[in-house]
Amino acid sequence: MSEKIIIFDTSLRDGEQSLQASLSVREKLKIAFALERMKVDIMEVGFPISSPGDFNSVREISKNIKNTKICSLARCLDQDIDVAADAMSVLKDFRIHIFLGTSHLHMKYKLKKKFDDILNMAIRSIKRAKRYTNDIQFSCEDAGRTSMDNLCKIVEQVIHHGATTINIPDTVGYTLPNQFGDIIHTLYERVPNIDQAVVSVHCHNDLGMAVGNSISAILSGARQVEGTINGIGERAGNAALEEIIMAIISRKDILKVHTTVESKEIYNTSKIISKICNIPIPNNKAIVGKNAFSHSSGIHQDGVLKNRKNYEIISPKTIGWKNVQFNLTSRSGRAAVRHRMKNMGYKDNEYDINKLYESFLKLADKKGQVFDYDLESLAFIKNQNKNSEYFRLQDFNVQSNCNGYSSALVKLICGKKIVIKSATTNNGSVDAVYQALHKISGYSIFLKNFQLIAKGQGKETLGQVDIIVKYNNRTFHGLGLSTDIIESSAKAMINVLNSIWRSKQVSLKFKKLES
Ligand code: KIV
Ligand code: ZN
């Protein structure tokens, strides 16, 4: 059996300390539960001396998390160590993580101490932490820029006095993979008692090397890896744990180690952390980005339809991502369009693929992404152009005051008639317009997502509204653009209403055929 890599998550400490506003205890608990479900081996949940809020959240997490080892951070100061132990005291077994700068720069300019003083502080702190636990992690802060002689000396001493995990951080993300791997390798060669501790690494991403450096360290013998989900953290962030975990799983042929993390929880955990921390995941982020498994070009989509392995090294299901579909764009080929129609239950003889593909390309050029319901209406509804839209905005009027009270009157062309409805809400003008529109359409829809972005600059700036709506278990997308953001919002919703209307026409048509 291969050796296990201990996965140490520090999203709630190194990740959280980089956020603009600290998280509430409730939010931290939600993240801690997600990490527990993901079965990370250890979670570092705070720096209790740093604030009463941090102390309190470490205490609450310690009370609630049952299956993951909890760890808290402390400087080499008695009070830090005592407070960290106090915050976790409800637990029988916990880890104290002590850190101290060991690089020339940190010793001279930050700590203003000589190496011998650093050594003594470290030893003293290990002894202090031993009063509370046998699980003591020591970090040589800025190890990436620490002289190898000093690093070997301090590592040997702290192990000798009781540190059970030695963490080697590349605090400023300065090292390169071969260099960082060499540091770990040298520790194994030169520190006589190194086998009495677990060697851990903690890499920052300033040069974009955090994951590469961590993997290089594993190859050199490190057996604990620290990081955060989505790579959140100080400056350019920490090593993204989901990337390290998936590298361990998918490249065991080379790495020859394993992890016991539940990879199927990665997607969910990543979403939770992104939402709570208010840090969107870039579309092209490895493993968890929106495009990580979406194939765009016709050649790739066709290749994946023939065998997913042609262009996929990981199945999205491995990280718990179900129902990944191709984005249908102007780069998609016939095979992808036909496949999507088949997924929706349409047989090849129910539509003309050549005609459909031709109109699909025209729409994709205009719209960018084409959705299921667009395909259906292209395939089954004749003479579609803007003037043949069933719902068209004729006019609207809104009034609102600063207490949130708003009323809207909307005039909508519905087929051949004009319908006028009004609505009042205490939730703002857009909501009032949406209520009036719903009264007119009668569709019972759920607004899942509303996004407003400014397009352009100065007076010409347009407000673009993108909405995602659920109707009868189907998802519809709407887009509206105008200099007036109420009008863009109304247009986006009318866009959706027309898509729903067309999809209803398609269902009616098929019901007729079936009967
Ligand atoms: O980056 C770093 O050096 C740290 C230490 C506290 C481990 O976060
Ligand atoms: Zn760090």
pLDDT of 221 over the 50 cut: yes
CB 224 within 8 A of CB 167: yes
Nearest-ligand number for the alpha carbon of 170: 1
Q: Which atom of ligand 1 is found nearest the CA of 172?
A: 1
pLDDT in tens, 431-484: 999 999 999 999 999 999 999 999 888 877 899 999 999 999 999 999 999 999
Q: How far is the CA of 262 from the centre of ligand 1 (A)?
A: 26
Residue 72: what are its φ and ψ, rounded to 5°? -130, 155
What pLDDT is recorded for position 383? Answer: 66
Q: How far is the CA of 487 from the centre of ligand 1 (A)?
A: 49
* 137 in contact with ligand 1, CB cutoff 6 A: no
Bridge partners for 42 per DSSP:
8, 69
pLDDT of 175 over the 70 cut: yes
- Which comes out higher in pLDDT, residue 188 or 459? 188
Fill in the amino acid letter for 39: K
- Give the mutation target among 72, 99, 146, 180 for probing the ligand 1 site: most ligand atoms within 8 A of CB: 99
pLDDT in tens, 1-11: 899 999 999 99
- Give the mutation target among 50, 125, 145, 171 for probing the ligand 1 site: most ligand atoms within 8 A of CB: 171
Nearest-ligand number for the alpha carbon of 145: 1
Q: How far is the CA of 254 from the centre of ligand 1 (A)?
A: 28
Q: Of all helices (H) and strands (E), which one includes residue 182?
A: helix 177-190
| One-letter-per-residue 3-state SS of 280-331 | CCCCCCCCCCCCCCCCCCHHHHHHHHHCHHHCCCCCHHHHCCCCCCCCECCC
* 169 in contact with ligand 1, CB cutoff 6 A: yes
What is the three-class DSSP state of 378? helix
Q: Of the given ranges (8-17, 32-41, 460-469), which has the lowest mean pLDDT?
A: 460-469
For atom 8 of ligand 1, the residue with the nearest CA is 14
Q: Which atom of ligand 1 is found nearest the CA of 73?
A: 6
What pLDDT is recorded for position 56? Answer: 98
Q: How far is the CA of 183 from the centre of ligand 1 (A)?
A: 17
CATH 3.20.20.70 boundaries in the chain: 3-277
Q: How far is the CA of 74 from the centre of ligand 1 (A)?
A: 11
- In whole angstroms, what is the distance from residue 262 CA to residue 249 CA? 11
Nearest-ligand number for the alpha carbon of 169: 1
Q: What is the DSSP letter of 108?
A: I
**CATH code reported for the domain at 386-514:** 3.30.160.270
pLDDT in tens, 260-296: 999 999 999 999 999 999 999 999 999 999 999 989 8
pLDDT of 384 over the 70 cut: no
CA 21 to each of CA 30, 59, 87, 282, 299: distance values in angstroms, whole numbers, following the listed order: 17, 20, 22, 21, 45
* 141 in contact with ligand 1, CB cutoff 6 A: yes
Q: How far is the CA of 114 from the centre of ligand 2 (A)?
A: 23
* 80 in contact with ligand 1, CB cutoff 6 A: no
Confidence tier at 236 by pLDDT (50, 70, 90): very high
- Percent share of the chain, pLDDT over 90: 91
- In whole angstroms, what is the distance from residue 332 CA to residue 296 CA? 7
CB 312 within 8 A of CB 304: yes
- Percent share of the chain, pLDDT over 70: 98
Q: Which atom of ligand 1 is found nearest the CA of 226?
A: 7
Residues 80-103 have a mean pLDDT of 98
Q: Which atom of ligand 1 is found nearest the CA of 14?
A: 8
What is the three-class DSSP state of 371? coil
pLDDT in tens, 396-426: 999 999 887 999 999 999 999 999 999 999 9
CA 186 to each of CA 48, 176, 182, 222: distance values in angstroms, whole numbers, following the listed order: 34, 15, 6, 12
Confidence tier at 232 by pLDDT (50, 70, 90): very high
For atom 1 of ligand 1, the residue with the nearest CA is 171
Q: How far is the CA of 281 from the centre of ligand 2 (A)?
A: 20
pLDDT in tens, 298-352: 999 999 999 999 999 999 999 999 878 889 999 999 999 999 999 999 999 999 9
* 480 in contact with ligand 1, CB cutoff 6 A: no
**CATH code reported for the domain at 3-277:** 3.20.20.70
- In whole angstroms, what is the distance from residue 480 CA to residue 1 CA? 57
* 14 in contact with ligand 1, CB cutoff 6 A: yes
Q: Which atom of ligand 1 is found nearest the CA of 143?
A: 3
pLDDT of 507 over the 70 cut: yes
- In whole angstroms, what is the distance from residue 41 CA to residue 33 CA? 13
CATH 3.30.160.270 boundaries in the chain: 386-514
Nearest-ligand number for the alpha carbon of 73: 1
For the question of whether the overall pTM of this predicted structure is more than 0.75, the answer is yes
pLDDT of 515 over the 80 cut: no
The sheet with strand 446-455 has its strands ordered as 446-455, 462-471, 474-482
Residue with tokens 């604030």: 51
Residues 117-133 have a mean pLDDT of 98
pLDDT in tens, 149-165: 999 999 999 999 999 99
* 202 in contact with ligand 1, CB cutoff 6 A: yes
For atom 5 of ligand 1, the residue with the nearest CA is 141
Q: How far is the CA of 117 from the centre of ligand 2 (A)?
A: 23
